[in-house]
């Protein structure tokens, strides 16, 4: 029986894989997808959704597969989050980058976290805007989870809510997937508009006129073999173990130990610790594993590029499965509140980032701002995409600052995520709006103070 289950699961992954490939070729063929930079995983996911049992019911596949797809993001996000600490280093390897530029990291930390937390306040405000809509208690958390966390993080939300036996966990995951899709598409479009405006008004330090976007970025792949980037170093010899397998083993080990630790905690009913979800333990354990690796002076065995490609692969499948299993009928009841919080999310995220980055970052403020905008509405690679449009050769230190800040703030964000999701359940919606607004204010205040301390009281941006 177990063999049949695993075989069926492999078949269901085959469908996802086929539509991922189809999404790649559709992106390369049709201009509309090139201009909006919609990822292949989103294209493929919506194709499965439209052709599946919820819409046209054309795909000759079991409906149980879609139940599997709804659960997949919650599973795949665990190794994605667990991988974050692996290879973590705050040291820049580039000699070209002035340490003064790295000082921007401190105000940047505050700005990113301030925006991320304020998105919770915006989302929860839907309960005040639509008092008669009978929204479920945690509605609104999906804005930040979708915008900052992305499609994969929708699985964290469903994990937390399903562990609490809340019946709307699948709807919440669908809402988060919807906000994540709006976030990626809208964030890219807003970013391109801002880049063109900034180039005309002299705010970009490298780009002097609106960008001609390279064909490879538009279609989604590089045709010239000589220009194709390497995915990383081969840190191990394949006669012993494949490099990708070694990095995967480290990630899966952290996940396995996290499940063991959580089962031990639940067995003895340890207060507080029992309510912490498995992905949080996976990240903590990975910190320990990475610390041991460094202590044994084996850090040369880990390459962050290889690790990132593994976690990115999980994310691609999390995205396509989340979209393919969207509970359309259930989500349609919330479409107006979703559109309202998404629009408010676009507006305040862009406004806060533009004002604070321009005023409190020194040098290349726009390049850093546009990359953070991509991350705050989409995923890490969305920020890289926008940065490459206004800095094609990545000449500025923006990528270094962006990469480090993404890693550090990502750890803090995921550490606090459980608290923000459960806040409306424990303390009510008014308290949640006030508290998330206050925490956002504290982070933004940190960005102001750190900027003044590092760059002087007279510094007012550039």
Tell me the range of 150-159, 251-260, 384-393 where mean pLDDT is highest: 251-260
**Are the C-beta atoms of residues 405 and 375 closer than 8 Å to each other?**
no
Please, what is the angle between helix 169-200 and helix 365-377, to 10°? 160
Domain coordinates of the chain in residue numbers?
2-218+239-455
CA gap 308, 251 in Å, rounded? 11
CA gap 454, 462 in Å, rounded? 15
Q: How confident is the prediction for the chain on average, in pLDDT?
A: 88
Q: Looking at residue 230, what DSSP letter applies? A: P
CA gap 55, 223 in Å, rounded? 36
Question: Tokens in use for 174?
Answer: 């669908």
CA gap 316, 76 in Å, rounded? 10
For position 206, what pLDDT does the model report?
76
- What is the Cα 129 distance to its own chain's centre? 27
Picking from 157-171, 209-223, 287-301, which range would have the lowest pLDDT averaged per residue? 209-223
For position 101, what pLDDT does the model report?
61
Query: DSSP per residue over 360-411, as a string?
Result: H--SSHHHHHHHHHHHHHS-HHHHHHHHHHHSTT--STHHHHHHHHHHHHHH
For position 118, what pLDDT does the model report?
97
Q: What is the pLDDT of residues 164-212, one digit of tens each?
A: 889 998 899 999 999 998 998 899 889 989 998 888 888 888 776 655 5
Contacts of 400 (CB under 8 A, 6+ apart): 92, 94, 97, 101, 102
Strands (E), 138-205: none
For position 271, what pLDDT does the model report?
78
For position 3, what pLDDT does the model report?
85
For position 73, what pLDDT does the model report?
87
**Are the C-beta atoms of residues 94 and 342 closer than 8 Å to each other?**
no
Question: Tokens in use for 11?
Answer: 């078949």
For tokens 């479920």, name the residue: 136
Does residue 269 surpass a pLDDT of 90?
A: no
Average pLDDT over residues 237-259: 96
Does residue 278 surpass a pLDDT of 70?
A: yes
Q: Looking at residue 320, what DSSP letter applies? A: H
For position 94, what pLDDT does the model report?
44
CA gap 177, 170 in Å, rounded? 10
For position 96, what pLDDT does the model report?
46
Tell me the range of 45-59, 395-409, 445-459 where mean pLDDT is highest: 45-59
Q: What is the pLDDT of residues 57-111, one digit of tens each?
A: 999 889 899 989 988 988 898 998 899 889 987 554 444 445 566 688 899 999 9
CA gap 379, 372 in Å, rounded? 10
Does residue 276 surpass a pLDDT of 90?
A: no
**Are the C-beta atoms of residues 188 and 37 closer than 8 Å to each other?**
yes
For position 415, what pLDDT does the model report?
83
Percent of the chain scoring above 90 in pLDDT: 53
Find the helix or strand (DSSP H, E) in which 11 lies. helix 2-29
């Amino acid at each position: 029986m177990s063999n049949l289950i695993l075989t069926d699961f492999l078949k269901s992954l085959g469908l996802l894989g086929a539509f991922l490939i189809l999404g790649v070729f559709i992106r390369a063929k049709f201009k509309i997808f090139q201009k909006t930079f919609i990822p292949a995983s989103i294209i493929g996911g919506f194709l499965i959704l439209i052709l599946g049992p919820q819409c046209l019911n054309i795909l000759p596949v079991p409906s149980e597969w879609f139940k599997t797809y709804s659960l997949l993001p919650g599973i795949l996000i665990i190794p994605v989050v667990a991988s974050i600490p692996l290879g973590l280093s705050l040291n820049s390897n580039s000699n070209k980058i002035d340490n003064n530029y790295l000082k921007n990291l401190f105000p940047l930390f505050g700005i990113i976290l301030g925006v991320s937390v304020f998105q919770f306040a915006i989302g929860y405000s839907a309960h005040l805007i639509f008092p008669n809509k009978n929204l479920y208690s945690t509605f609104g958390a999906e804005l930040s989870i979708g915008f900052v966390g992305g499609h994969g993080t929708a699985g964290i939300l469903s994990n937390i809510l399903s562990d609490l036996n809340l019946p709307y966990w699948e709807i919440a995951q669908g809402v988060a997937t919807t906000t994540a899709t709006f976030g990626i598409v809208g964030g890219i479009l807003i970013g391109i508009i801002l880049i063109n405006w900034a180039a005309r008004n002299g705010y970009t330090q490298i780009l002097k006129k609106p960008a001609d976007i390279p064909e490879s970025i538009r279609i989604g792949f590089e045709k010239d073999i000589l220009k194709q980037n390497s995915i990383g170093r081969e840190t191990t010899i394949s006669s012993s173990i494949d490099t990708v397998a070694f990095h995967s083993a480290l990630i899966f080990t952290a996940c396995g130990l996290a499940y063991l630790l959580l089962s031990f905690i639940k067995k003895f009913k340890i207060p507080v610790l029992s309510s912490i979800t498995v992905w949080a333990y996976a990240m903590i354990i990975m910190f320990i594993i990475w610390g041991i690796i460094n202590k044994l002076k084996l850090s040369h065995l880990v390459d962050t590029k290889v690790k990132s490609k593994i976690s990115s692969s999980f994310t691609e499948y999390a995205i396509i499965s989340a979209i393919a299993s969207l509970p359309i009928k259930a989500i349609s009841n919330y479409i107006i509140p979703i559109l309202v919080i998404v629009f408010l999310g676009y507006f305040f995220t862009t406004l806060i980032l533009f004002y604070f980055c321009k005023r409190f970052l020194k040098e290349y403020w726009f390049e850093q701002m546009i990359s953070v905008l991509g991350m705050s509405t989409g995923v890490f690679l969305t920020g890289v995409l926008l940065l490459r449009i206004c800095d094609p050769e990545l000449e500025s230190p923006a990528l270094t600052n962006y990469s480090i800040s993404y890693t550090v703030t990502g750890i803090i964000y995921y550490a606090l995520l459980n608290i923000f999701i459960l806040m409306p359940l424990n303390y009510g919606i008014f308290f949640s709006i006030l508290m998330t607004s206050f925490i956002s204010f504290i982070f933004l205040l940190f960005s102001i103070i750190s900027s003044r301390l590092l760059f002087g009281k007279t510094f007012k941006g550039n």
